Structure 1
Amino acid sequence: MFRGIDEVDWASMEHAYGSAADVPELLRGLASPLPQERETALDGMYGAVHHQGDVYDSTLASIPFLFALAEHPGLPDRGGIVELLASIGAADDADGDGDGDGDGDGDGDEDASGGSHAGGGDETDGGPDAEDSEGSEDSEGSGDSGDSGESGDPAEDNHAMARAAVRARAAVFLDLATDGDPEVRRAAPSALVRFHGEPGRVLALLSERLRDEPEDGVRLALVESLGLLGRLHPVSAAPAVDRLVALCGPPHDPGLRLAALGQLAACAADRLPGDLVATVVALLHTRSQRIRPYREPVRTSSDTLIGSLRRIRPADEEGARLLRTLHQALGARTDDRIALLKGQLSSENSADRCNAVWMSAGLFREWRAAHQETVALIGEQLGSDDERLRAAAVSVLEFLFTLAAPAADRLASLVASGTDPRAQGSTTLHRPLRALARCGDARAVPALAEVLRRPTVPNETGYAIGYLGPAAAPLAPLLRQRLAEVPLDSPDTFHRAAPLLSALGSLRYAHAVPEVLRLLHGTSREPQLRNPLVKALAGALGAFGPEAREAVPALRDLLAGENAVAAAEALWSVDGDAEAALPALLAALPPEPEGGCHRTAAEALGRMGTAAAPALPRLRRLARSAETGARTAAACALWDIAGDPDPVLPVFRDAWRRNPYTRRTIGACLVRMGGAGTPVHDLVRTELASSRRHRARAGGHGSHDVLDDELLLRDCRAVLDAA
């Protein structure tokens, strides 16, 4: 298996974390007699050698040894190696699978064989929110999608070579499709479809295996591969589609029929039965009554990402995969998807209902529709005895923010019941409480007051309070008290203080100025620790407004430092002193501006209005910046200062098209512009007519995407109402 491995100059190669000198050890670990060592090695291959789908020179050098391992009879866990090879070979392919739906248990990407791996690395449905800085939901994203044409990424060559290398050995997958190991037989069909150059031969083999295969899980993988063949090889698709149509009806078992319907929806939707939803719901209920949930063989519980993913897979992983495939294939057919979810959520089987909750996540994140009834049904699951189902429901409701209102009564009951004893000493906020606060329900206030009185206050508490608006006013004295207890000059100072400052700022609680100044004067001199905290402190003081005049001297002292922009904006808000604030903001807009700091300065200048007129020449230059976010901020400032739509509207039209993350900023400015923005109201009308959320994208999502989209829709309606 490893002939020649020591002759490869691994040390001269790289992977995600630097030198690839450790790759031979990882490859040998895949053949270890110890299950935990094999799992750790596979985890390392995904984590370093194929990190988040990347292909390095060490990845290419590993391919021959991975094939040797996959072909070695009797070696355990070869199914995972086949999946790894397929992922490496298809790393830059997009076969049209999926709209972002997930089973919600934090698993990695899944290929058509249903095998889960840890190589995806993107945010996945249902796991704890990878908060994109909870207090910064108004940001315009991390990049300027659409600004550039050619990527010029040299990694593309590696992807092409990997694809060619796997295709050159694709005949191996023919043999693996009949291997004695069911896990190998599950992984091989999709690899065969992706890489073998003779789709007719592959179709014949898939049909033969469907006739002879005894394992249900493998049969499902074969059906899924038929659908993949139909999508990847449309010229050869007709026989595959005919086979799928035949599999959709009796006498086949419900699971196989569900799989065939899902694949048919993805590659030949016109061949679906007219009563699709009723058929699927009936099959789902019949399947739930007949079979036990499929479970993979018992494995080690090693402390690896792959190990943790295996432990948190759905109770009915097979059912999750079947329904996820169908939901993804139905895409924009939201009425059908909502009806299907209602059928799933009416099942007597809690695993079916749990899968439905996770299926709803992708629908909510990507599509605008009448979700109220579905949300209410998800709220009903909070009363279940099934802990996994309750957790799934809470996880989905958390990212819905105000859209979770139909489930608010159930959330409030769960919060009031105090059913989670672990919340008492937890360093994270009780998730039902966070979901209730995020939907703006005042019933969260007493529970949040209790949290603020505990010895340990979860850091995200302050951010959750910010969504409650004036209803959270009774919490302000407690927030001030906890801010006074934040230690000075600690590595944890910012993380503890920033959420509290955010909440106090949202409540405009100027009584906390002394506590803010204590932190400002006592914070570390180390820039890495000081700068983020100073920005948060200045932001709170600015939110307090004129009642924070006590802080004016401290803010003036900051005008000559690295935090000059934040200090100048706060100084203007507190003191209205344009003469003091303008120089610092102008200095942040040099003749050739680039970068986020200039965007922040432009936003601050816009808030100053006509008092910032001296900045107009520099803002006009910034409006021609190569960076879309900076152009947009400058254009908004130009309107707020000069009230001239002519230089503003062309920027808005271009930015709206290029970078969806700018639409919130543009929409808010168009509200301020009133009738002056009429020439671009066609963008607003098109947005309101679209059924797809503006931030929806393949391969990931942000925890605030739904909220941002709902706020954009609110502003778009306001724009047209005021026209």
Structure 2
Amino acid sequence: MFTGIDEVDWASLRHAYGSAEDVPALLRCLASADRAEREVALDELYGSVHHQGNVYDSTLACVPFLFSLVAREEVPDRGGLVELLASIGTVGADGGSTLAGAAVHARAEVFASLAGDPDPGVRRAVPGALVRFLDQPARVLALLWQRVTVERDDRVLLALTEALGLLVRQHPADAAPAIGLLTEHSGPPYGPGLRLAALGQLALSAPERLPDDLVPTAVRLLRDRSAHRPDVPVHPETDTLVGRIRRLRPSDEEGSHLLRTLHNALGDRVGDRIALLTGQLTSPDPIDRCNAAWMSAGLFRGWRGDHAGPVALIGAQLGAEEDQLRDAAVSVLAELFELAAPAADALDALLTARPGLQVHRWERGTPTLGGVLKALARSGDPRAVPALADVLAGAVVPDDLGHAVVHLGPAAAPLAPALRRRLGRVAPDDPDAADRALPLLAALAALGDTEAAPEVLRLLRGTREPVVGQALRTLGSLGTAVRPVAPLVRDLLDSQHAIAAADALWSLEGDGTVVLPVLLRELAGARSGHRAAADALARLGPAARSALPGLHRMTGSDRVRERVSAACALWRIGGDPVPVLPVFRAAWTTSPHTRGPIARCLADMGPAGAPLWDLLKTEVASVRRHMARRGGFGSHDIPEDEGLLRVCREVLVRR
């Protein structure tokens, strides 16, 4: 297995943490008789030679030895090694290291020899590797077909089904027999798990073959499968990445995967996905409902639609006895903001029954606002106010409480005195001043609490960015009611906080003769301040006409956000749509994150913005959220998208 391993100059090779001289020992441990030792070694290989999916020269050097290991039946847990090889080869083929991809492709014949391996873990891992790396689609199809006819392990059959779907997508010219086999497996007399897997692959690869009653069929199959759910394999506890991931996985990972595949395949068919989710959330099986709660987050984050029904059903899980189910529901609802409103009654009921949930105390780190209270407050429900008052009066006040207050509007006004007192306890020289002060300043600004001015000024004198910037924005939001503080703000016009100070001073006094020269200076100065200066000039409106030449130049910036800020300012200052509309159209199409400010500016433009109303119509008609993207999301994507839709609709209604 390890012939030649000592002839490799591992010390000269590199992985994520430097020299690869530790790799030979890890490779040898993969053949250990001790399961924990094998798992630790695999974990460390993923973390070093394949760190975050990357490949290195040491990764390439590992490939022959990994293949030698998977070819030996006496080596346990070889399925995990096949998965590692497949991951290395896929990353290499997609642009990590073409050498690593080529190395796996060159040895793909080994995968063919393992198709009938005695170890079911190997047989589960091999089908996908065959499709990806054995460049003989007809032969691969024959191998898969042959294995389907003799395989008796349900988990291996599911892997074979997924491999057939992958083959259809990668080799459409050879797809007909595979599609026929998937269609056959999607109906009786096959078991519910295999039928669900086949339906998911058909939805991905040949949606025209799906039955008309897809959703009712899928829900029925899910419930049939849950009534006879296969036993979950028991693994020893190990303090490794693999072990931690295993503990975080759903208790029915296979069922979760089957339904998630179907959801992803349905894509923009939001009505069908909502119906499917409704079926999952009304299942008599709590594990199915828990899986549904977790996968609902992806639908809510990426797609628009009438989500009130599923959200209410997720709220209904808050009364469940199973901690895992209840925690999943809370976690999802806390990220929905106003969309969580249909679950507000359930959130309030749980919070009333269990006030200890107001604050979450972590094993490590500072306490945070409890998910139940956070979800209720973010939904804008005023019933969160008494609970927040209790927290503010308690011994432990989470730093993030102010962020929740922002979403409650005027209903949170009774919290202002306690928020002011809390702000008064923030020492300007506290190294954690920003974490403690920023949420409180934002909350007091949202409440328009003019009595907070003395505490805000105290921080303004003694702290650094970003506290000073937020303190100035808070004073600016309070407006002329706190005008007596203007001299102190004016003292900052020649500091690094000049733009924020000028912006606040305009709100306090409305005197362009003082503010405008500062903003013009910053607009012509360091580029880091151009956007903020343009945004501040926009608020001056016609009083900033002398800034028009500089803003015109800024619309030619190579940074899209600078162009959009400049265009917004041009309109609000000069009122001429001609130089503005082309900038908006180009940015809207290429940079979705600019659509919010553009839509708000179009709302101000009225009929002058009519040439761009087609963009708003298309946006409102789209089922995809404008910030939906593969492989990531922002914590505020949902409220930002809902805000964009609201502005677009308002413009179109007023036209």
Instruction: Report TM bin, short chain.
Output: over 0.9
Indicate which of 475, 479, 494 corresponds to 1:541. Answer: 475
- Per-residue CA distance 1:603-645 (angstroms, 9 max, x = gap): 1211121222222211111111111111111111111111111
User: Kindly tell me: are residues 92 and 697 of structure 1, through their superposed partners in 2, closer, same or farther at Cα, counting changes over 3 Å?
Assistant: farther
Q: Determine which structure has the larger helix proportion and give its number.
A: 2
Residue 600 of structure 1 deviates from its aligned partner by 2.0
Indicate which of 622, 631, 649 corresponds to 2:563. Answer: 631
Q: What corresponds to 2:383 in structure 1?
A: 443
1:367-446 correspondence to structure 2 within 5 Å: 367-418=303-354, 420=356, 423=359, 425=361, 427-446=367-386
Q: What corresponds to 1:466 in structure 2?
A: 406
Greater shift in the superposed pair: 25-34 or 213-222: 25-34
Q: What corresponds to 1:257 in structure 2?
A: 195
- Per-residue CA distance 1:376-412 (angstroms, 9 max, x = gap): 1111111111111111112221222111111111111
- Take 2:61 and 2:492, find their aligned partners in 1: how far apart are those partners? 54
CA contact (8 A) 2:358 2:372 kept: no
- Take 2:118 and 2:491, find their aligned partners in 1: how far apart are those partners? 74
2:257 is equivalent to residue 297 of structure 1 = no
Q: Which protein is bigger by CA-based radius of gyration?
A: 2
- Take 1:551 and 1:37, find their aligned partners in 2: how far apart are those partners? 66
User: Kindly tell me: are residues 412 and 180 of structure 1, through their superposed partners in 2, closer, same or farther at Cα, counting changes over 3 Å?
Assistant: same
2:576 is equivalent to residue 644 of structure 1 = yes
1:190-589 correspondence to structure 2 within 5 Å: 190-292=128-230, 294-302=231-239, 304-418=240-354, 420=356, 423=359, 425=361, 427-523=367-463, 530-589=464-523
- Take 1:635 and 1:402, find their aligned partners in 2: how far apart are those partners? 31
User: Kindly tell me: are residues 13 and 480 of structure 1, through their superposed partners in 2, closer, same or farther at Cα, counting changes over 3 Å?
Assistant: farther
User: Kindly tell me: are residues 277 and 564 of structure 1, through their superposed partners in 2, closer, same or farther at Cα, counting changes over 3 Å?
Assistant: same
User: Kindly tell me: are residues 322 and 501 of structure 1, through their superposed partners in 2, closer, same or farther at Cα, counting changes over 3 Å?
Assistant: same
Which one-letter code corresponds to 2:259 in the other structure?
A: L
- Take 1:195 and 1:479, find their aligned partners in 2: how far apart are those partners? 61
SS of corresponding position for 1:588:
helix
Residue 315 of structure 1 deviates from its aligned partner by 1.7
User: Kindly tell me: are residues 582 and 44 of structure 1, through their superposed partners in 2, closer, same or farther at Cα, counting changes over 3 Å?
Assistant: farther
Q: What corresponds to 1:704 in structure 2?
A: 636
- Take 1:170 and 1:268, find their aligned partners in 2: how far apart are those partners? 27
Greater shift in the superposed pair: 608-617 or 646-655: 608-617
Residue 29 of structure 1 deviates from its aligned partner by 5.3
2:542 is equivalent to residue 610 of structure 1 = yes
Q: What corresponds to 2:101 in structure 1?
A: 163
Residue 270 of structure 1 deviates from its aligned partner by 0.7
Q: RMSD across aligned C-alpha pairs, in angstroms? A: 2.3
- Take 1:57 and 1:578, find their aligned partners in 2: how far apart are those partners? 62
Residue 448 of structure 1 deviates from its aligned partner by 0.9
Q: What corresponds to 2:619 in structure 1?
A: 687
Residue 243 of structure 1 deviates from its aligned partner by 0.7
User: Kindly tell me: are residues 708 and 29 of structure 1, through their superposed partners in 2, closer, same or farther at Cα, counting changes over 3 Å?
Assistant: farther
Residue 437 of structure 1 deviates from its aligned partner by 0.8
How many percent of aligned residue pairs carry the same amino acid?
58
- Take 2:578 and 2:504, find their aligned partners in 1: how far apart are those partners? 30
- Take 1:565 and 1:405, find their aligned partners in 2: how far apart are those partners? 38
User: Kindly tell me: are residues 496 and 201 of structure 1, through their superposed partners in 2, closer, same or farther at Cα, counting changes over 3 Å?
Assistant: same
- Per-residue CA distance 1:506-536 (angstroms, 9 max, x = gap): 112121222222223333xxxxxx2222222
- Take 1:358 and 1:519, find their aligned partners in 2: how far apart are those partners? 41
CA contact (8 A) 2:476 2:504 kept: yes
SS of corresponding position for 2:249:
coil
- Take 2:35 and 2:217, find their aligned partners in 1: how far apart are those partners? 42
Unmatched tracts of structure 1, length 5 or more: 95-155, 524-529
Greater shift in the superposed pair: 407-416 or 570-579: 570-579
- Take 1:347 and 1:644, find their aligned partners in 2: how far apart are those partners? 58
**Number of equivalenced pairs:** 651
Residue 658 of structure 1 deviates from its aligned partner by 0.5
CA contact (8 A) 1:594 1:630 kept: no
CA contact (8 A) 1:301 1:311 kept: no
- Take 1:453 and 1:21, find their aligned partners in 2: how far apart are those partners? 57
- Take 1:31 and 1:573, find their aligned partners in 2: how far apart are those partners? 71
- Take 2:484 and 2:74, find their aligned partners in 1: how far apart are those partners? 76
CA contact (8 A) 1:594 1:627 kept: no
Residue 714 of structure 1 deviates from its aligned partner by 0.4
User: Kindly tell me: are residues 4 and 553 of structure 1, through their superposed partners in 2, closer, same or farther at Cα, counting changes over 3 Å?
Assistant: farther
Residue 6 of structure 1 deviates from its aligned partner by 5.5
Greater shift in the superposed pair: 355-364 or 44-53: 44-53
- Per-residue CA distance 1:255-274 (angstroms, 9 max, x = gap): 11111111111111111112
CA contact (8 A) 1:531 1:562 kept: no
Which one-letter code corresponds to 1:685 in the other structure?
A: K
Indicate which of 590, 594, 616 corresponds to 1:662. Answer: 594
Residue 201 of structure 1 deviates from its aligned partner by 1.4
User: Kindly tell me: are residues 25 and 565 of structure 1, through their superposed partners in 2, closer, same or farther at Cα, counting changes over 3 Å?
Assistant: farther
Residue 93 of structure 1 deviates from its aligned partner by 6.9
CA contact (8 A) 2:358 2:387 kept: no
Deviation beyond 6 Å, 4+ runs, structure 1? none
User: Kindly tell me: are residues 5 and 208 of structure 1, through their superposed partners in 2, closer, same or farther at Cα, counting changes over 3 Å?
Assistant: same
User: Kindly tell me: are residues 628 and 254 of structure 1, through their superposed partners in 2, closer, same or farther at Cα, counting changes over 3 Å?
Assistant: same
SS of corresponding position for 1:442:
coil
Greater shift in the superposed pair: 450-459 or 547-556: 547-556
- Take 2:349 and 2:653, find their aligned partners in 1: how far apart are those partners? 38
Greater shift in the superposed pair: 353-362 or 21-30: 21-30
User: Kindly tell me: are residues 19 and 688 of structure 1, through their superposed partners in 2, closer, same or farther at Cα, counting changes over 3 Å?
Assistant: farther
- Take 1:550 and 1:24, find their aligned partners in 2: how far apart are those partners? 72
- Take 1:25 and 1:556, find their aligned partners in 2: how far apart are those partners? 66
CA contact (8 A) 2:493 2:499 kept: yes
Residue 4 of structure 1 deviates from its aligned partner by 4.8
Q: What corresponds to 1:81 in structure 2?
A: 81
- Take 1:580 and 1:32, find their aligned partners in 2: how far apart are those partners? 76
- Take 1:93 and 1:700, find their aligned partners in 2: how far apart are those partners? 22
Q: What corresponds to 1:590 in structure 2?
A: 524
User: Kindly tell me: are residues 32 and 664 of structure 1, through their superposed partners in 2, closer, same or farther at Cα, counting changes over 3 Å?
Assistant: farther
Residue 659 of structure 1 deviates from its aligned partner by 0.5
User: Kindly tell me: are residues 544 and 10 of structure 1, through their superposed partners in 2, closer, same or farther at Cα, counting changes over 3 Å?
Assistant: farther
- Take 2:637 and 2:99, find their aligned partners in 1: how far apart are those partners? 36
